[in-house]
Amino acid sequence: MERVQLTDELSFSRIIHGMWRLADWKYSEQELLQLIEDCLEMGITTFDHADIYGDYTCEQIFGKALSLKPEWRDRMQLVTKCGIKPLSEKHPNTYIKHYDTSKEHILTAVDQSLSNLVTDRIDVLLIHRPDPFMDPEAVAEAFTLLRQAGKVLHFGVSNFTPVQVDMLSSYLDFPLVTNQIEVNVMNLEHFDNGNIEKCWEKRLRPMIWSPLAGGRIFHSEDPKAGRLRNTLEQIADDLGADGIDQVMYAWLLQHPLKMMPIVGSGKTERIRRAVKALELPLTRQQWFEIWTCAVGHDVP
């Protein structure tokens, strides 16, 4: 599979696997190992986590399985995130969902993630959400300590706006390597808020969460979803695609920015459909058909 170079030393697979629903799948360790092996065989080597996924359980489930195949660790890139503190029975002192990007919290969260994932290093650590109470000097101190200790090799952000990317970058001696943002045919906000341009300007390749709009396009009675479903089905027919999910992936994959969609399915078959989307020859006009349908009017 095509790889995307994030730095001289780091590359991701063009398609990334996301583990945020891992706990829901109730997989045995063998089933999970099979899923990981299928991914690796398809060329998907980058796995996306967060400390809080599955109410703080997904990292650990993954780590336990991975510990049975330690030789796989060097074949993959592990991404995880910190900075959100949701309500959870595991953290009874948290009485309101909030953010914590303090030095102490980042250091503690990374130690926990390393332990959960049964690994000695995280390839990329992301700040999960922009924090209005962030002290960028504290974040920079934490990142520097983690880097020096070899616990985290690279750093990025998620859901940051352009000014937030610039701001945090100005406190770091090394570049942020990605911004993980939501982009899909139902949500074009990052084309409006300058994030696509900021990625280009800073030579950042974004990780894309919710590439299928959380699935709501398949059933929603929202008129925009219906309109898009029709357009996507027409194009799927024209391309001989297996379904509109493939066209939605192709719409992201054909974009020249080299967006890296995160596929969150536990089913090998579904993941394979995303991989096959890499070969769909979506044309420029088809890309704009979808764009036009999504924004609701012709380009000016």
Site string for a second copy, 252-281 (x = CB under 8 A): ---xx-------------------------
Residue nearer to a second copy on the CB measure, 26 or 133: 133
289 binds a second copy (CB under 8 A): yes
133 binds a second copy (CB under 8 A): yes
285 binds a second copy (CB under 8 A): yes
Strand partners, 181: 208
In the chain, alpha helices (H): 22-25, 29-42, 53-56, 58-66, 103-117, 136-148, 162-169, 189-192, 195-202, 216-219, 223-239, 244-253, 268-277, 284-295
Distance CA 188, CA 167 (A): 23
Tokens encoding 151: 């616990």
136 binds a second copy (CB under 8 A): yes
Q: Quick one: DSSP state of residue 70? A: G
CB of 180 to a second copy, least distance (A): 14
Tokens encoding 282: 């979506």
88 binds a second copy (CB under 8 A): no
**Is the distance from CB of 174 to CB of 147 less than 8 angstroms?**
yes
296 binds a second copy (CB under 8 A): no
Residue nearer to a second copy on the CB measure, 132 or 240: 132
Residue nearer to a second copy on the CB measure, 148 or 170: 170
> Which amino acid would we find at residue 33?
L
Residue among 98, 216, 227, 267 that touches a second copy (CB under 8 A) = 98
Residue nearer to a second copy on the CB measure, 55 or 135: 135
HSE-CB for 277 with a 13 A CA cutoff: 28
Tokens encoding 229: 């479903």
Alpha carbon distance, N-terminus to C-terminus of the chain:
37
CB of 226 to a second copy, least distance (A): 19
CB of 197 to a second copy, least distance (A): 4
CB of 171 to a second copy, least distance (A): 8
Output the CA torsion sign for 60, 63, 65, 68. negative
Catalytic annotation on 53? yes
Neighbours of 88 (CB within 10 A): 12
108 binds a second copy (CB under 8 A): no
CB of 218 to a second copy, least distance (A): 23
Beta 11-13 vs 16-18: how paired, if at all? unpaired
Residue among 99, 143, 209, 249 that touches a second copy (CB under 8 A) = 99
Q: Can you give the binding site for a second copy, defined by CB under 8 A? A: 84, 94-100, 102, 129, 132-138, 159, 161-164, 166-167, 170-171, 191, 194, 196-198, 200-201, 255-256, 284-285, 287-289, 291-292, 298-300
- Enzyme catalytic residues: 53
